[in-house]
Structure 1
Amino acid sequence: MSPDASAVLLSAVVTALAGVVGALVLARLSRHRPVVAALGAPLVLVGSLAAGVAVATRSMLIGEDDYRTLVFVLLAGAPMAVLVGVVLARRVWRLERESAAARAAHERDREVERSRRETIRWLSHDLRTPLAGIRLLAESLEDDAVAEPHAAHARIVHEVDRVDGMVDDIAELSRLQAPTATRRERVELDDVVSDAVAGVGPLADAASVAVVGGELAGTTVLGDARALTRAVSNVLRNAVQHTDAGGQVRVVTRREGDAVVVEVTDGCGGVPPEALEHLFEPGWRGDHARHERGMGLGLTITREVARAHGGDAHAANLPDGSGCVVALSVPRGGATE
């Protein structure tokens, strides 16, 4: 074999080996850092060619000046390789973001669908209790088997109100989970809290629980006043229902960075730590009062309202174990005072 042919063969082997090694490294990188792999792909190609040409020039005993000329020619391709790598990396980064967003949206849709199926199952189960009571009372009235018809009528109205509340919760949750934009307007959050406290007043009086307003931040947010009022009312109602007679529910608002937080503290005696993460799940109940109090969607709706506004809702036990605090955070969204 002639020296030139040997040099060409050696150059091809070195180029191939360098390319294979580079490809293996890129393949490993692409699993965890695809953007870096895309950026390095053209550089691996140029590096492989440079290695092959360098070996060929040495084996062919080319002069030093010619050797440098060949190396300079190859190095001149490095900037173009970097440019191509940057273009590829940006494209891969964009595709990676789009893929992550698509996966998140798909997971969100799956979670919403799972939640809806569970809610429908709970709804069909929970509706049987008030409907059975209404049917029994109606049949008793028809047969004149009720000693106090007025009490029976009142009980029927009460059960109908429970059913209406359940259906309303389902409709509200479905609306919040739909892919629609939340209405935005200037809302005085302290007014929202005041309206919610007034709305839960009769329930608190009946339960002999005091609802106390603490320090208020006096802040304006951009959001849906009706939805925010409902979210705060749900937290207050839940707090009153789980606080013993003679106890106290306290509500305050405060600023926290660019957000406003509504905190409701109750006297429920605390929640097991393993149950805290379930408080906002649709239909979850930590006691056996679910049929009397509804479907357990109140805190679920609260969190959905908060997230629709770009915030969130969390619950924690008080340090002394006397109760819980539920915090609803809402970004100010550029609202001015």
Structure 2
Amino acid sequence: MVRGIIARAKGAPVESVEVVVPAPGPHDVVVRVDACGVCHTDLAYRDGDIDDSFPFLLGHEAAGVVAEIGEAVEHVAVGDFVVLNWRAVCGECRACRRGEPKYCFDTHNASKPMTLADGTVLEPALGIGAFCEATLVHEGQCTKVDPEADPAVAGLLGCGMMAGIGAAIHTGAVARGESVAVIGCGGVGTAAIAGARLAGATRIIAVDIDDTKLDTARRFGATDTVNSRELADGRTGEEDPVVARIRELTGGFGADVVIDAVGRPETYRQAFYARDLAGRVVLVGVPAPEARLDLPLADVFARGGSLKSSWYGDCLPEHDFPMLVDLSRQGRLPLADFVTERIGLDGVEDAFAAMRDGGVLRSVVVNR
């Protein structure tokens, strides 16, 4: 048995418990978890915003070393350093067969459940469950990267950082010389800013209600910042002041790409109207299930361009994780700067509180 962090009931504080990790099935892998980022999705699981399949074994932004493999595993070997992903492509579904595995509709997870000592089945967050000393996953959920990489840094690609970077470089297809606006500068939005800079955007506008987050956004590549709360307080006229400011910063036209990293109807409307004609809107912030959007269909037609949703940054882990780890180690992507603090397993509940306060980009649980 190993120690892990679970959410037993909606909104209840997390608990440190003993977890039974079974012997791997034919295509399963036991990974010794070296580090795991504390993502907002874990908080959503704890608060019952994902579903009610409690108890959850939390944690999914993880890196570690393969400790044991099933008899049919060919993808990795014992001793490999891997980043875990929640999109283990099947290779057989209609998306995979048409050459778009990033949209795989039948991704793999471990064949056996992890449990509590009394046999209670645990639901692993995003099929991973890595706030734990070791976890059981499908071999396809393991992506080998440079073993010299810091696990606390590399593991962040397992979810939020990849979502943001990919929203810019993949979904938004930001090109050199383009302008980009990012609405919402939490971890995912800040990663989108870093991705836009990596792609060569020359004007990157960060929008948030928090000056501290905007200052951080500048460190990651924002050329301009917009405090939307201050603009709203001083609003005059009918035009949304955020839209007006983004247009002002882009020669009156709007940004080539606008990324909504919040996922609220009001921020999506801002993104929609703050883009240039034929520009791209990318939704990467996850909306609440009850959220509804009302846009004039005539405006959707007249403005052209594209309206896209970004799932996991439209990434292919086997390609993107090693590439981004290498760019980080070369100093071309400031991935390490996303690590605000390193904590133990017992610090997860405090990390959730810090996340709510907006004082961290990422807290990272470090087991070794």
Shorter-chain TM band: under 0.3
Higher relative contact order (CA 8 A, sep 6+): 2
Name the TM-score, length of structure 2 as normaliser: 0.21
The structure with the greater share of residues assigned to strand is 2
- The structure with more radius of gyration: 1
Name the TM-score, length of structure 1 as normaliser: 0.23
